Amino acid sequence: MNNLYHKDIYKFDEPIKSYWETTINTSNKYKTFEKNTKTNILVIGAGYTGISCALSLAKKYNEDVVLLEAGHIGWGSSARNAGFCCIPPAKMSVKKMINKHGKQETKKFFKNTVEGSNFTKNLIDEYKINCDLTGDCNYEVAPHPSYFDSIKEEASLYKNEFGIETEVFAREEFNEIGHMGNEQYGAFSYKPGFAINPLKFLLGLAKEAKISGVKIFQKSKVSKIEKKSGKFNIISNGHIITANKIVMATNGFYQDDLFPKLNNRILPVISNIIITRPLTEDELKSHNYVTNNPVLNIRNLLFYYRLLKDNRFLFGARGDVIGSEKSSIDKSKKMEQQMKKVFPNWSHVNIDFHWRGLVAMTAKLTPSIGKLEDDEIYYSFGYQANGVNTAPWSGNELSKLIISNSKVLNISKFYQGLPKKFPFPKLRLFYLRLYLMYCSIIDR
Ligand X SMILES: Cc1cc2nc3c(=O)[nH]c(=O)nc-3n(C[C@H](O)[C@H](O)[C@H](O)COP(=O)(O)OP(=O)(O)OC[C@H]3O[C@@H](n4cnc5c(N)ncnc54)[C@H](O)[C@@H]3O)c2cc1C
CB of 52 to ligand X, least distance (A): 8
Task: List residues binding ligand X (CB under 6 A).
Answer: 12, 44-50, 68-71, 75-78, 80-84, 221-222, 249-253, 271, 273, 316, 356-359, 381, 383, 385-389, 391
Residue number with CB closer to ligand X (162 or 304): 304
CB of 41 to ligand X, least distance (A): 15
CB of 281 to ligand X, least distance (A): 26
Residue number with CB closer to ligand X (152 or 334): 334
Residue number with CB closer to ligand X (70 or 275): 70
CB of 382 to ligand X, least distance (A): 9
CB of 316 to ligand X, least distance (A): 6
CB of 331 to ligand X, least distance (A): 11
CB of 96 to ligand X, least distance (A): 21
Residue number with CB closer to ligand X (135 or 143): 135
Residue number with CB closer to ligand X (171 or 261): 261
Residue number with CB closer to ligand X (252 or 419): 252
CB of 441 to ligand X, least distance (A): 24
Residue number with CB closer to ligand X (68 or 349): 68
Residue number with CB closer to ligand X (97 or 274): 274
SS (H, E, C) the chain: CCCCCCHHHHCCCCCCCCCHHHHCCCCCCCEECCCCEEEEEEEECCCHHHHHHHHHHHHCCCCCEEEECCCCCCCCHHHCCCCEECCCCCCCCHHHHHHHHHHHHHHHHHHHHHHHHHHHHHHHHHCCCCCCCECCCEEEECCCHHHHHHHHHHHHHHHHHHCCEEEEECHHHHHHHCCCCCCCCCEEEEECCEECCHHHHHHHHHHHHHHCCCEEEECCCEEEEEEECCEEEEEECCEEEEEEEEEECCHHHCCCCCCHHHCCCCEEEEEEEEEECCCCHHHHHHCCCCCCCCEEECCCCCEEEEECCCCCEEEEEECCCCCCHHHHHHHHHHHHHHHHHHCHHHCCCCEEEEEEEEEEECCCCCCEEEECCCCCEEEEECCCCCHHHHHHHHHHHHHHHHHCCCCCCCCCHHHECCCCCCCCHHHHHHHHHHHHHHHHHHHC
